[in-house]
């Protein structure tokens, strides 16, 4: 049985959920793909038969070595396409996801290699997510979420993991892009919004959006820089 585009979508979602630190269950997959849970159960069984995932009832879903390899290939296509659409064709960061979704299953390896070369062999997509290499290597992610910062802390936005176009546009309107420095001014009580300062402007970010904004605390960035200098 060949791997279909739908199967690749499932493998990619399993990879992304794991990458973002979520427990990968049939329910979380269903929510991410906007499909019914019984449909997910059927697909997971097919993927398990192909030795692409491992799953026991009532336990998390995991990728096998073969499933991980396939997932990385489609993630690489997607993220390279997002960056190409943004840099070469002028798409905004809230437009690239849906276009890349449509194209990622159809491009050839040669086309992928030419995009990679034309972009200068990039390592990050427009949202700050790491682009797997052609050899299947991907940089380790070490960051926190904006929702974890305390008042007075300053950080650099490392990536934004929400693919919802409206949410990305809203975050962009506040200047919350990767590599932007952000300061937490105040946290409202009872899981209220976070008061942040970006480039001298004050904004309020709700807890759901704050959870999708990943950051590196400024002290961690400075320490990493000093380590490189010392080396």
Six-digit token pair at 3? 């791997």
Domain edges within the chain? 5-63, 144-222
* Assigned CATH for 5-63: 1.10.10.10
Task: Say if residues 129 and 79 touch (Cβ distance below 8 Å).
Answer: yes
Q: What is the DSSP string of 8-40?
A: HHHHHHHHHHHHTT----HHHHHHHHT--HHHH
pTM of the shown model: 0.87
Query: Which of 202, 174, 184, 204 lies closest to 192 in space, CA to CA?
Result: 204
Cβ neighbourhood burial of 201 (10 Å; 0-12, 13-18, 19+): exposed
Report the percentage of the chain scoring pLDDT > 90: 84
225 confidence band (pLDDT: 50, 70, 90): low
Q: What Å distances lie between residue 17 and 27, 54, 97, 208, CA to CA?
A: 12, 15, 16, 16
Six-digit token pair at 82? 């997002």
Which bin fits 177, alpha (ψ -120 to 50), beta or left (φ > 0)?
beta
What digits encode the pLDDT tens for the residues 163-173? 899 999 999 99
Q: pLDDT higher for 128 or 56? A: 128
Please tell me the class of the 144-222 domain: mainly beta
Q: What is the pLDDT at residue 64? A: 96
What digits encode the pLDDT tens for the residues 57-91? 778 999 999 999 999 999 999 999 999 999 999 99
Distance (Å, rounded) from C-alpha 91 to C-alpha 96? Answer: 6
Bridge partners, residue 130, by sequence: 124
């Amino acid at each position: 049985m060949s791997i279909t585009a739908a199967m690749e979508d499932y493998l990619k979602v399993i990879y992304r959920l794991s990458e973002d630190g979520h427990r990968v269950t049939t329910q979380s997959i269903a929510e991410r793909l906007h499909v019914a849970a019984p449909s997910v159960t059927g697909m997971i069984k097919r993927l398990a038969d192909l030795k692409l995932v491992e799953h026991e009832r009532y336990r998390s879903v995991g990728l096998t070595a073969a499933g991980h390899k396939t997932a990385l290939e489609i993630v690489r296509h997607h993220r390279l396409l997002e960056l190409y659409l943004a840099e070469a064709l002028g798409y905004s960061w809230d437009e690239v996801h849906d276009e890349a979704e449509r194209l990622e299953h159809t491009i050839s390896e040669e086309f992928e290699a030419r995009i990679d070369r034309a972009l200068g062999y990039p390592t990050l997509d427009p949202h700050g997510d790491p682009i797997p290499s052609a050899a299947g290597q991907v940089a380790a992610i070490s960051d926190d979420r904006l929702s974890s910062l305390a008042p007075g802390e300053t950080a650099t936005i490392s990536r934004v993991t929400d693919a919802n176009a409206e949410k990305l546009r809203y975050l962009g309107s506040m200047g919350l892009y990767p590599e932007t420095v952000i300061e937490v001014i105040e946290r409202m009580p009872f899981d209220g919004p976070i008061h942040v300062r970006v480039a001298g402007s004050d904004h309020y970010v709700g807890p759901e959006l704050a959870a999708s904004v990943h950051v590196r605390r400024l002290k961690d960035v400075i320490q990493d820089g000093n380590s490189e200098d010392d080396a």
